[in-house]
């Protein structure tokens, strides 16, 4: 509407009618004047409304909600499966006796390094040793008799029965001697592998039996971590998958890969086993040490991500965000945008469809705005900046 042309006409009309006294005006003239004034009022109202709209458009603080927004920029997105695991050692053994007897001697101390085959502990084998000496003497005599009987047999002197009896006697005594030697060796406990005496469970003179451990021997040069993973990740986690192991008790983190995956699903909790091998030259890692395990099961170099908090759902279950469409500078108008969310990890959600790079997604203030509303964007940041700031 061209207000510059219309205003002079109105002013002239007002002047003409105002100069004539009211008493001299007829009813028709008064009706015409009333209708003219009403038209003028309506026209002026339209003009004022347009001016108010222009003022509001230029005024960045008038009747606008303040919001903050994220500018969409594709970023790398990694998703980890988070579980717990415990450390184990391949060579971590409680040593049990194979026979019963009193502890006769303890040749090692706790914390002592030992070699494979080194004598660790002795049980009382006096009776076995006595029987062993007796059988050795009997065997020596039996061998002498057999040798003489053999020489006579080769000269065709004596009977074949005598020869066979002497031979059988030697064999029986030799077998018995081997058995006694094995039993005696069972009273002499030796190290099955190189390691460290972690704990001694018995004392001198105490009666030891096969069902009770004597000591614990460990070798921590190589350890492994074992954890259970839900069967729903059986396709995404396999041997060679990257992983991060965090040990909160010792403030240590290790980057490694899955060494082995289980071939069987545990029916009790629907999980399968994963194993990580770790070198441990300084023996920092101890058996049964707890670890937080993060296994990488999904990674993309360039995807659209937004903070979880900006995604809302309507009554029909559709996911959506509010997008601020810029008009000028920081002034914008709100648009509701349906999105297709993907995986979520640590406060971020991958958006598979619905957003384009460069668009502004409303963050603070998103719960109190609606489609078509005009807003003022007080701050624009990126998802990457938020992550870097904590």
| 267/337 same-domain check | no
Tens of pLDDT, residues 33-44: 787 787 778 778
Confidence (pLDDT) at 162? 78
234 belongs to a structural domain: yes
Residue 193: band (very low, low, confident or very high) from pLDDT cuts 50, 70, 90: very high
**List of residues 6+ apart from 198 with CB closer than 8 A:** 110, 111, 215, 216, 217, 218
CATH number at residue 369: 2.40.420.20
CATH number at residue 243: 2.40.30.170
214 belongs to a structural domain: no
| 312/384 same-domain check | yes
245 vs 252: CA distance, rounded Å: 8
Among residues 208, 236, 267, which one ends one of the domains?
Answer: 208
Contact 18, 25 (CB under 8 A): no
351 belongs to a structural domain: yes
The domain containing residue 123 runs over which residues? 95-208
280 belongs to a structural domain: yes
- What's the predicted TM-score (pTM) here? 0.65
Question: What total of structural domains would you count in the chain?
Answer: 4
Tens of pLDDT, residues 64-107: 788 888 899 898 999 999 999 999 998 999 999 988 889 999 99
- Which of helix, strand or coil describes residue 152? helix
Confidence (pLDDT) at 52? 58
- Which of helix, strand or coil describes residue 287? coil
Among residues 208, 232, 263, which one ends one of the domains?
Answer: 208
Q: Which of 143, 131, 139 shows the shortest CA–CA distance to 180?
A: 131
213 belongs to a structural domain: no
50 belongs to a structural domain: yes
| 289/314 same-domain check | no
CATH number at residue 112: 2.40.50.100
Query: For the chain, what is the largest distance between any 2 Cα atoms, rounded to a whole number of angstroms?
Result: 180
Q: Is the pLDDT of residue 252 over 60?
A: yes
Q: What is the mean pLDDT of residues 45-70?
A: 69
322 vs 333: CA distance, rounded Å: 10
Confidence (pLDDT) at 385? 64
Among residues 271, 298, 325, which one ends one of the domains?
Answer: 298
| 112/21 same-domain check | no
């Amino acid at each position: 509407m061209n207000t510059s042309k219309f205003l002079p006409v109105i002013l002239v009309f007002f002047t003409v009618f105002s100069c004539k006294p009211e008493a001299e005006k007829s009813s028709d003239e008064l009706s015409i004047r009333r209708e003219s004034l009403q038209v003028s009022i309506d026209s002026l109202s339209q003009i004022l409304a347009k001016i108010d709209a222009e003022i509001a458009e230029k005024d960045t603080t008038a009747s606008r909600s303040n919001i903050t927004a994220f500018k969409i920029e594709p970023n790398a997105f990694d998703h980890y499966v988070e579980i717990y695991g415990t450390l184990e050692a391949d060579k971590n053994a409680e040593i049990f006796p194979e026979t019963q007897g009193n502890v006769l001697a303890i040749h090692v101390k706790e914390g002592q390094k030992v070699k494979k085959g080194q004598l660790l502990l002795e049980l009382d084998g006096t009776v076995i040793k006595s029987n062993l000496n007796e059988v050795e003497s009997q065997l020596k005599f039996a061998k002498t008799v057999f040798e003489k009987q053999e020489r006579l047999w080769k000269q065709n002197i004596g009977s074949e029965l005598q020869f066979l009896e002497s031979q059988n006697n030697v064999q029986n005594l030799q077998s018995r001697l081997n058995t006694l030697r094995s039993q005696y060796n069972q009273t002499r406990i030796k190290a099955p592998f190189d390691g460290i005496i972690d704990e001694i469970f018995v004392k001198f003179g105490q009666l030891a039996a096969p069902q009770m451990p004597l000591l614990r021997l460990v070798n921590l040069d190589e350890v492994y971590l074992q954890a259970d993973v839900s069967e729903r990740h059986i396709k995404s986690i396999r041997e060679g998958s990257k992983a991060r192991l965090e040990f909160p008790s010792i403030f240590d983190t290790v980057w490694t890969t899955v060494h082995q995956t289980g071939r069987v699903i545990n029916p009790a909790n629907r999980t399968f086993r994963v194993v990580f091998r770790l070198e441990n030259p300084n023996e920092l890692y101890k058996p049964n040490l707890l670890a937080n395990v993060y296994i990488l099961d999904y990674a993309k170099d360039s995807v659209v991500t937004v903070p979880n908090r900006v995604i809302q759902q309507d009554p029909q279950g559709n996911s959506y965000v509010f997008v601020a469409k810029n008009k000028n500078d920081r002034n914008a108008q709100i648009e509701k945008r349906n999105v297709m969310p993907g995986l979520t990890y640590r406060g971020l959600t991958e958006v598979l469809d619905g957003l384009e790079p460069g668009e502004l997604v409303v963050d603070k203030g998103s719960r109190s705005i609606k489609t078509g509303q005009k807003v003022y964007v007080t701050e624009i940041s990126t998802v990457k900046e938020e992550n870097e700031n904590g």
